[in-house]
Structures are given as structure tokens and as C-alpha cells.
A and B are shown apart, each in its own frame.
Chain A
Amino acid sequence: MQIVSQVREPLITGGKTYKDVTDDICKPVEAAPSKIWLAALTLSLVLLFAGGYFLGDMLWNGIGRWGLNKTVQWAWDITNFVWWVGIGHAGTLISAILLLFRQKWRTSINRSAEAMTIFAVICAAIWPIVHMGRPWLGAYWVLPLPNAFGSLWPNFNSPLLWDVFAITTYFTVSLLFWFIGLVPDFATLRDRATSKVSRIAYGIVSLGFDGSAKTWMHYESVSLILAGLSTPLVLSVHTIVSFDFATSVIPGWHTTIFPPYFVAGAIFSGFAMVLTLMLITRVVYKLEDYITLEHIEMMNIIILVTGSVVGIAYITEFFIAWYSGVEYEQYAFVNRMSGQYWWAYWSMMTCNVISPQLFYIKKIRTSFVMTFFLSIVVNIGMWFERFVIIVTSLHRDYLPSSWLYFTPTLWDIMCYVFTFGLFFTLFFLFAKVCPVINMAEVKAILKDSNSTVYKGRRTIPNELVPEKDRV
């Protein structure tokens, strides 16, 4: 018997039945592409091809197309890499950690978040690959393959190599997790299919799912095992990304708080990106009853918590730099604030530390407009965070004679645009062929969390119950 306290908000509003859930979520997949979807896909493809041109040009002519110089050898490339990997943390967090913590509100958002994770990791992986300059030789640098390039062997002491293994594992497990979750929904689509093509296509991907008790049992135990596997994985990925910097002896990079602080930052930006996407999806696909204000508030609270953790980490780093008495560290932090890149530092502080604090105000964290706006602000802030850490520490190295300033070229910008194009193209294709919400899991919580159960509660979607009626 499942008992749900009266103080909990309903998670599915509008008095939906099981059939409604199937119909509402399958509709965008089964219907002909809408105009707005076509427009969005076209725009993404434009970004993809425009950026792709510059990326191809860069690969043909070499890394020199980017604004890197002999002091700042890492700038937008690694910034974008860390940024995308960070975004790729939310999906697995929602599906694995929130599953282990039995957070029911995850059911409406996990599918899209997981898809977003996979696409973000693909976008991230592009950066180290193209940064190799000659990616077709990349296998020799990450795998111990016999080669004719002299003593060129993978360096197993390097966190950059650990990244390769960590991210590949993470990507594989996330993909499996996402796909396993899709199987029952694919089976639903297969059973509802009216055309031969879609019946065959969804028939193949649903792996013969028949909905028997035994099948569901297998499905559930696989989900739990994958959740158990991906929980340490999701933490390990950004931990190792933080090692890329923290194991070195560069002022501003070598600090022990990096691993948990990077993980918190990754979840922070990941949730922001989920919100950006879900707020659009819920309107375009008319899913207001499934992605309710309650879901948005929960995500905003996670953003608030992780944003504050990141804030404490900034203050800790800053304080310890002073406390340590190490003049290089002290300079690195003063330089971040007041050096040539002061504008990047203050953009980061405003977007990452100050803006999420607005979510303490209930009116703001339950406002769609403010949530949408702040979710974008947070991701701008998180991009600047990586840029600040990477570039401000590099551009003042130990030899003052080599102090330089980094300015991005058009190729830096357009290669970044390319990953946006890729990300959104993949996401919109996903949103057309897969159900964006996990129907099976939403149905599992429908009975306990349906708004019709409660009287005097918010039953019209997204309208706050008047103060006097609140329980």
C-alpha cells in the first residue's frame, strides 16, 4: 500500500487517466512533424552546417585557426569540453541518484534529461578529438597500440588519459540506461503503430518487449543495476575532469577542493540545461500536466543547492589562497578578479553565485519566465567559470616575458556554434522519434500523485492554489 502525505504536491495534474498519458505523450511522435518543430530543426541544421564549415576548415588548415598562442595553449576548446561534459551530468543524476533516493518527480523529466546527457557528452568528446590536430592518429595516443612514431605511447599517469576511459564508460552506461528505459515505450509505440514502417522500426528497437510480469521484472532489475553502476560513474567523470587541472602545479588549478566542487558545478549546469529544454518542450508539446510547476520548483531547488555549494567552494578557494601565504596562489586569485579578464570573473560571479540565490524567493522559483531566464544565465556563468579557471591561470605563467592575452577568432566561435548545432539537431530528432517522457514510469506514479486525489488543491495546471485553501 502506498501512502502519500497530504502536504505533497501532485506530480501529474489535470486528472489524467492511463490512456490519457499514452495518448498525450505518443501524439507528437505519431503525428506529422509540426511547423514549429521543422523550423527548430532547420535552425539547428543551419548552425550545424555553418559551424561545420569552420570546423572542417580548421581541421584542414590546423589548430592555428584558433586564437591559441604559446602561453594560452588551452582556451575555448577545453572550456567547451568541460562545459558540455558538465551539462551531461544532469541526466544520469536524475535517473540514477534520484532513483536511488526514490524521488518520484524524476519520472517526468528523466527521459529528456538522459537524452540530453548523451548528446552533451557527444558534443564534449568532439573537443579533445579535434584538438589533437590530427585526430586520425588519436588512437595511438589513447590506446597502447604498436606504432611507428618512435616512443609515442599513452601516458597512463595523465588525467587526460583517465578522461578518455571515464567518459567512454560513462557514455556507454548512459546510453544503455537511456535505451533500456525506452524499450517499454517503444513497445507501446509499436503496438499503436498504424504504418508498416513504424511498426517494423519500433518493433526492432523494442526488443520483443511483451509486457509480461517476467519482462517487467527484468526491466526493473536492469534499471536498478544500471543506476547502481552509474552513480559512482557520474561522480567519477567530473572528478577526473577536475584532475586535468588540479593535479598540475599551476596556481589557481592545484587545489584539493576541485573534485567535489566540479561535480557540484556540473550538476548545477546540467539542471539548468534540462530546464531550458524542458520549458520549451512542455509548451511546444503541450505537456503542462506532466511537467508541472512542482517539477520546475524541484529542479530550481537543486540548482539553488548546487549553486550555493559552488559558491562556498569559490569562497573557500579564495580564502585559502590568502591563508596559505603562497604568493603565486594569491596573485592568481587577485588577477582573476582585477586582471585583464576581470570581466569574465565578474560575469561568472554574477551568473553563478548571485543569480541562483534569487531562487530562495518562492515567487521566482515558481515563475516560468524567471526560471527560463535564469537557466540560461546559469549556463553562461558556468561557461565563464571554466574560461576563468583555464585562461586566467594560463595567461600569466611563471615567466613574465611570456605573458599574453587570448582573443578568440571566428573559428573559435564557429566551432562552438557547431556543437550547439549538433546538440540541438540531435535533441530535436530525439523529440520527434522517441516519447519525450517516460510513459511507463509516469504511469507507475499516476495513482499516488494524480491531482484528482486531492481536494482543494491545484488541479488546473500551474495555477497556484489560493493561500486560504492550501493544506
Chain B
Amino acid sequence: MATETHELNLEEKFVFSDKAKKKIFLTLGIGIVLLIIGIILEMSGGGHGEHALNLTQDNLASINSDGTESGGHGHAYSWTTKLFAGMWINNLFFTGLALIGVFWVAVNYVATAGWSVGFKRVPEAFGNFLPIAGVLMLVVFVIANHSLFHWTDTSLYDETSGHFDAIINGKKGFFFMPGAEGVPSIPVFYYGRMIFFFLGWVLFYQFIKKQSHLEDVNGGTKHYRKLVTFSATFLIFFGVSSSISAWDWVMSIDTHWFSTMFGWYVFASWFVSGLAAITLIVVFLKEAGYFSFINENHLHDLGKFVFGFSIFWTYIWFSQFLLIYYANIPEETVYFLERLQSDNYSKFIFINLILNFFFPFLALMTRDAKRKMTFLKIVCTVVLVGHWFDFYLMVAPGTLKEHGGFGFMELGLIMIYGSAFIFVVLSNLAKSKLIPVNHPMLQECVHHHT
């Protein structure tokens, strides 16, 4: 069966056309203009009527910290907070997309999946954004620091300061250094984890990419076997690091609050966004004349993944919500109350559930819908937007309190990050063969039917 050849030409190469580049730079330009307009509006006081809401914000802040006033101090709101929070949301979202690209490739190797081999260069290209995402994450954390992360305020750990917070003090070892005594200064442990995780992901990714490209040149199954082993190792690292990074980068924003599900919740959100992004790019490339072998059977399976994991995300969301709602412990319900009782954020809870569950669930229910490119384009775009709001809802209430909103600044930032991500992905996609011609399972993918 190895001699089986197919009439389709599999020697495709993606050309990053000037037209596409122009479009991306145009989006980037508009994004920058919108961001500047947003910043100017914010600096001149904005039009969001925050002043009227300041009272509720103070109330919430003091509830958060169990009667002590530490929640309210030192967080004088300025437009930079909004900028940093916006960047942090995009950092999380696009790190997730890049990481899921690598995760997808690794899972498919370990699961010996054949049907997805033909377009594996697309998720593989996502990983190229990881170094940029890492630098952005680190830089934004260094600059924004206190305006996003309440726990970075060292006076919280100083019993004499009047801002002392016993609960946050109990978490000192995790943020600063295990066994740290007295008032800490630099969160070494936190930085260390951030750098270690990104370094690990990038290194694993580089190895996977290198072997995958060597396979194009050398053929044989040696690289394939190596990739299976390496993917499995990556998955172990990913399993631990994705949960811990979710605690670090998201859960610690609401410093008092905790939920054991949170790591998997962030993973579920990342995974379904990544699936939607992969599907979307595959469909666009197909429409642009690439991937001659891809037909509705491949699309059907991609659609099933988006459909299935939208339900999975909802399952995780609902389990976390129900258990917290049912037990009704104030320390836990505060997370949902802060969102549901806020004029700014309550609508996003419902937007989140509609865009990420009801819409993909109903739209992709039928077999035909999963096999049509138009449907997939609409649903995947909606899912991506929906999960951006999911991250918005994780980050904004804890950082911006009642100053949050969605305006020019947020839109501009999405456009900037999005065009940067697409540019990195497409320019790397153009660097190698679009189809891994020597992958031992390629023929299974070409002849795939469901």
C-alpha cells in the first residue's frame, strides 16, 4: 500500500502575497489609530460615566478583602490601567492560540491521528508566536505590575503598614519565594515560573518544528517516531504548566479567590479558541486555492471538534458555577457576584454563554452545517470573539473594577494583536512546504472520508 500514489499534487507551497500583507498592515494601522483614539478619550475623562460608579467600586473592593480596606488602596485608576488590562487579556488569548497550535500537533502525534496530517503545518505555525507572547507577557507584567496584580503590593505583607492582609500574606510563598520571611520585594518565584514555562514551550516547539521540517527533506519514519516521543513529553509539561500558568496569570488577579477547576477552565477556553483559529485558517487557505486534497470530510471533523469542545468548555464552566452557587460560600461566590451584580460586566456573562455555547451548539448541530465552509467561518469567528470576551470577563473585573468597558482601545488592541499573530503565522507558513509530504500518514489524510 506504500506504493499508492494519488493524482493530487501534494507539493504545495504557501505564498504570503503582497495583497494579504497589505490587508494585515491595514488592519494593524486601523488598530493603532483606534488605540490612540481610545487612549485620548480615556485621558480626557472618557465617556463611560465612571464617576457615578466609583462608590460601588469602593464597596466591592472592601467586601473583597474581608472588611480590611486593602482592596481599595493604591489602585488609583488611570487610563494606563485600562491599557495594561487590555494588553493582558490579549496576551493571554494569543498565548493560548499559539500554545494550542503546538498542543494540537502533539496530541495528534500521540493519538496517531491520520486525518489531520495534511494541514498540520497550520497549527504548527501558531507556535512561532510563542516567543513574542512570552516577551509581551513579561514586559507587560514588569510595567503594569501593581495596576493589574493587587498581590504585588508589598505593603500587604507588612504587618506594620496598616494594609496588612493575612490571607494574601498566606500566599506569599507561592508568589515570591517558598519559605520567604518578612516583607518580600521581588516576586522571583512568579517570574521564574513565567520564564520557565515560556522557555519550555518554545524549546519543545522548536524541536517539533525542526523534526517536522527535517522529515520533509529526509523522509522515512525516524523523524515520525521521534516526534511521537517528543510530543508525549511536551504533553506532560503542558499538563502541569498550563494549569499553573492559569493560576499565575489569571486566578491571582482576584487574589483572595480560588477554584480548583480554574486551570482546566482556562485550558478549555484556550483549546476551543485554538480549534476555531485552526479551522478558520484552513478554510481561508482552502478558499485561496491551497489544500487541494481537503474536502468536506476534513471540514466535518474540524467542525465536530469545535462543536464538541464548545460543549466541553460549557461543561467546565457550568460545573464550576453550579458547585460555587450550590455551596454558597461567600469567599467563593464573590467571583460571580462581582461579575453578575456589576452594571459593566453582567451582560458579558450572558454574551459569553450565548456566543460560546448556544450559538456553536445550535449552528453546528447538523451534519451539513459542519461540512459547509460558510457555516464554519461564521461559527469559528463567533467562537473566537466569544472566548476573547471569556478572557475579558476573567481579567477586567479584578483589574478595572467598575471602569471596564469595551471601546476603541479594546478594539484597537485586538486588531493590533490579531494582525501581529496572523502575520507571524502566515510568514512562517510560507517558509516551509505547506503539506508534510513525507509524513507516514499523509495518504490516510488525503483519502479521508467520514
Could you list 12 examples of A-B contacts with CB < 8 Å?
A5-B443, A6-B1, A7-B224, A7-B440, A256-B261, A257-B260, A258-B319, A260-B264, A260-B319, A312-B240, A317-B260, A323-B174
- Judge if B316 is at the interface, Cβ distance under 8 Å: yes
Most central of A3, A248, A254, A313 by chain B CB within 10 Å: A3
A380 → chain B closest CB, angstroms: 24
A471 contacts across to B, CB distance below 8 A:
221
**Which single residue of chain A is at the shortest CB-CB distance from B315?**
A235
- Judge if A43 is at the interface, Cβ distance under 8 Å: no
Interface residues of A in 222-245 (CB under 8 A from B): 232, 235, 239, 243
A158 → chain B closest CB, angstroms: 11
- Judge if A213 is at the interface, Cβ distance under 8 Å: no
Check if A6 sits within 8 Å of B323, measured CB to CB: no
Check if A316 sits within 8 Å of B263, measured CB to CB: yes
- Judge if A249 is at the interface, Cβ distance under 8 Å: yes
- Judge if B112 is at the interface, Cβ distance under 8 Å: yes
- Judge if B329 is at the interface, Cβ distance under 8 Å: yes
Check if B444 sits within 8 Å of A3, measured CB to CB: yes
Selected from A3, A246, A312, the residue in CB contact (under 8 A) with B323 is: A246
Q: How far is the CA of A111 from the CA of B354 in the complex (A)?
A: 39
Task: Take A257-B260, A312-B240 as given contacts and tell me if A5 and B170 are in contact as well, using a CB distance cutoff of 8 Å.
Answer: no
Check if A260 sits within 8 Å of B243, measured CB to CB: no
- Judge if A453 is at the interface, Cβ distance under 8 Å: yes
B2 contacts across to A, CB distance below 8 A:
6
Further pairs besides A3-B4, A247-B322, A316-B243: 18, Cβ < 8 Å? A3-B444, A5-B441, A6-B221, A232-B311, A256-B261, A256-B319, A256-B323, A257-B260, A258-B260, A260-B264, A260-B316, A312-B240, A313-B260, A316-B260, A316-B263, A320-B258, A325-B170, A471-B221
B320 contacts across to A, CB distance below 8 A:
256
B167 contacts across to A, CB distance below 8 A:
325
A133 → chain B closest CB, angstroms: 27
A255 contacts across to B, CB distance below 8 A:
260, 323
Q: Which residues of A contact B (CB under 8 A)?
A: 1-8, 100, 232, 235, 239, 243, 246-249, 254-260, 308-309, 312-313, 316-317, 320, 323-326, 360, 453, 471
A239 contacts across to B, CB distance below 8 A:
315, 319
Q: How far is the CA of A323 from the CA of B171 in the complex (A)?
A: 6
- Judge if B236 is at the interface, Cβ distance under 8 Å: yes
B329 contacts across to A, CB distance below 8 A:
249, 254
B366-401 CB mask vs A (1 if < 8 Å, else 0) is 000000000000000000000000000000000000
Selected from B112, B236, B261, the residue in CB contact (under 8 A) with A257 is: B261
B260 contacts across to A, CB distance below 8 A:
255-258, 313, 316-317, 320
B259 contacts across to A, CB distance below 8 A:
256, 320
Task: Take A249-B329, A324-B258, A471-B221 as given contacts and tell me if A258 and B323 are in contact as well, using a CB distance cutoff of 8 Å.
Answer: yes
Task: Take A260-B319, A325-B171 as given contacts and tell me if A1 and B447 are in contact as well, using a CB distance cutoff of 8 Å.
Answer: yes
- Judge if B50 is at the interface, Cβ distance under 8 Å: no
- Judge if B239 is at the interface, Cβ distance under 8 Å: yes
Listed from nearest, the 5 A-B pairs whose CB atoms lie closest are A257-B260, A256-B261, A259-B319, A5-B441, A325-B170
B198-233 CB mask vs A (1 if < 8 Å, else 0) is 000000000000000000000001001000000010
Q: How far is the CA of A247 from the CA of B329 in the complex (A)?
A: 11
A194 → chain B closest CB, angstroms: 40
**Which single residue of chain B is at the shortest CB-CB distance from A157?**
B326
Selected from B221, B261, B262, B447, the residue in CB contact (under 8 A) with A3 is: B447
Most central of A100, A239, A257, A453 by chain B CB within 10 Å: A257
Q: How far is the CA of A235 from the CA of B447 in the complex (A)?
A: 32
- Judge if B114 is at the interface, Cβ distance under 8 Å: yes
Q: How far is the CA of A255 from the CA of B240 in the complex (A)?
A: 19
Task: Take A7-B221, A239-B319, A260-B264 as given contacts and tell me if A254 and B1 are in contact as well, using a CB distance cutoff of 8 Å.
Answer: no
Task: Take A5-B443, A6-B2, A453-B1 as given contacts and tell me if A256 and B171 are in contact as well, using a CB distance cutoff of 8 Å.
Answer: no
A8 contacts across to B, CB distance below 8 A:
112
B322 contacts across to A, CB distance below 8 A:
243, 247
- Judge if B331 is at the interface, Cβ distance under 8 Å: yes
Selected from B171, B324, B444, the residue in CB contact (under 8 A) with A5 is: B444
Task: Take A316-B243, A323-B258, A325-B167 as given contacts and tell me if A243 and B443 are in contact as well, using a CB distance cutoff of 8 Å.
Answer: no
- Judge if B8 is at the interface, Cβ distance under 8 Å: no
A2 contacts across to B, CB distance below 8 A:
447
- Judge if B327 is at the interface, Cβ distance under 8 Å: yes
